[in-house]
Structure 1
Amino acid sequence: MGSTFNGLVGLIILALDIWAILNVVKSGVGVGAKVLWILLILLLPVIGLIIWAIAGPRGNIRI
Structure 2
Amino acid sequence: MTSIIALLILVLDIFAIVKIIQSSASGLEKILWILAVLIFPVVGMVVWFFAGPGGKKL
Question: TM-score normalised by the shorter chain: which range applies?
Answer: 0.7 to 0.9
Gaps of 5+ in 1: 59-63
Q: Distance in 2 between matches of 1:38 and 1:52?
A: 9
Report the equivalent of 2:4: 8
In the TM superposition, structure 1's runs of 4+ consecutive aligned residues that sit over 6 Å from their partners are: none
TM-score, structure 2 normalization: 0.86
Of structures 1 and 2, the one with the larger relative CO (CA 8 A, separation 6+) is 1
TM-score, structure 1 normalization: 0.80
Which protein is bigger by CA-based radius of gyration?
1
CA RMSD of aligned residues (A): 1.0
Gaps of 5+ in 2: none
